[in-house]
Structures are given as C-alpha cells and as structure tokens.
Amino acid sequence: MASQLKIKVCGMREANNIKALATLNIDYLGMIFYPKSKRYITNSPKVEMSKSTKKVGVFVDEELEKVKAIALEFGLKTIQLHGHESPDYCKKLQNSKLSIIKVFHVDEQFNFEQTKAYEKVCDYFLFDTKGKQLGGNGIRFNWRCLDNYKGTIPFFLSGGIAPEHAKALEEFEHPLLYGIDINSKFEDAPALKNIPKIQLFLNQLS
C-alpha cells in the first residue's frame, strides 16, 4: 500500500535544496505563501523540475486574486488551502483551472461531516493535526480517526510524519488514502530538507 502512495514534500524554499530534491521520485513539491510561516517563500526558485512533479502553493485565507497572481508567477497548478476558506472560494479557484487541496485539522473530536460541503469543489483533502499552529506542528494525530471519514474525495495524510513511521504507513489502510505529506520531521532547519533522510524514507516505503 505505502509504495503506491503519492509523496508530497512541503515547505520548500531554497533553490539548491529544491534542486537536490528534484533528483528523488517526488510527486508534489509544496511552497508556503503564508507570511507568518517559518517557511514563507517570496521569490520563485529558478529550478527545473520534472514534469511529473507538481508544484503546490500553500495559502491561508488569502485574497483570491493574489492566489491567482502567485500561481501564475510561480507556475503552480495545485493550490492547498490551509485556512477557513469556504466552498465558494474553492470553487472560484477551481474554475481558474487550478487543482484544489483543502486542509482539515483533525483531532479526536473532529466531525468529518464538515468535509461534505467541499466534495464538489476540491480535488483532494489533506488531513493534518489540529495544533497551536495552522501547520508544521510536527505532531501526529491518531490515524484511526480516519475510519470515520466516509467521503468520496481522496486525501493526503499529514501531521508529524517522521522517518520512523514508514512501517506504520505500510500497515495503515484506507480506501481513499492518496498520498502523504512530509515536512518538519525531515528538516535540518525551517525550509531546509535533509535529502538523504527523505531518500531513506522513500526506500523504506518501496
């Protein structure tokens, strides 16, 4: 199961780091356009990526027109919405030919019914840990909570996934699990990924 998962590496910023990551079999490369994030990116890295690697822009309650402008500047095809964006907001971006990932912050009390309103306006969901920050908390939630997700949209699993979780990912099953999102547990510093650590992790999943 784990070997079939799509891999998304989020919080990339440095050109040389992205160039090194490009040598790995990564499906999605995430860049964060949220000024309060430690991984906030302002300039487009001049790095050639494989056409099979999709660039994802991560936004939090940003103005629609600014999202569209940044998507054009950075060559983004996928937008990840990490805030309180409404279904109508998602629909307007989707109408602009952008693929949409909507994030939901999960804990033991999370009600998965709230995802239903987004099913027709998003391409994927991403289930992250509910924490003090909107993302990058480095905390893993109880994946068994996802047994309560009975929706129709494929999802990314996120939240504190670390190198030592490869075996747990091999054992975890859900019919709509599409991919995993890794970030802080693979960093030497904010926005600086440890490429050998990612490579070893990918080898363990294959």
- Domain spans in the chain, listed from the N-terminal domain onward: 2-205
The pTM for the full model equals 0.94
Q: What is the pLDDT of residues 130-175, one digit of tens each?
A: 765 555 556 789 999 999 999 999 999 999 999 999 999 999 999 9
Q: Does domain 2-205 have CATH number 3.90.10.10?
A: no
Q: 30 φ, ψ to 5°? A: -100, 135
Would you state the pLDDT for residue 146?
Answer: 96
* DSSP characters over 45-62: ------TTSEEEEEESS-
Question: What's the whole-number mean pLDDT along residues 101-118?
Answer: 95
Question: What's the whole-number mean pLDDT along residues 164-190?
Answer: 95
Q: Is the dihedral of CA 136, 77, 2, 198 positive or negative?
A: negative
Left if phi > 0, otherwise alpha if psi is -120 to 50, otherwise beta: which for 195? alpha
Buried b (16+ CB within 10 A) or exposed e, 19-39: ebbeebebbbbbbbbbeebeb
Would you state the pLDDT for residue 19?
Answer: 95
| Residue 59 CB burial class (10 angstroms; 0-12, 13-18, ≥19) | buried
Would you state the pLDDT for residue 136?
Answer: 52
Distance CA 20, CA 196 (A): 10
Q: What is the pLDDT of residues 77-107, one digit of tens each?
A: 999 999 999 999 999 999 999 999 999 999 8
Q: 127 φ, ψ to 5°? A: -100, 115
Q: What is the pLDDT of residues 27-38, one digit of tens each?
A: 999 999 999 999
Instruction: List, in sequence order, the alpha helices (H) in the chain.
Output: 15-21, 64-74, 87-94, 166-171, 195-205
Strand pairing category for 99-106 and 187-189 = unpaired
Confidence of residue 206 (pLDDT cuts 50, 70, 90): confident
Distance CA 61, CA 175 (A): 30
- Mean pLDDT (the chain) is 93
| DSSP category for residue 2 | G
68: which 2 tokens? Answer: 């569209």
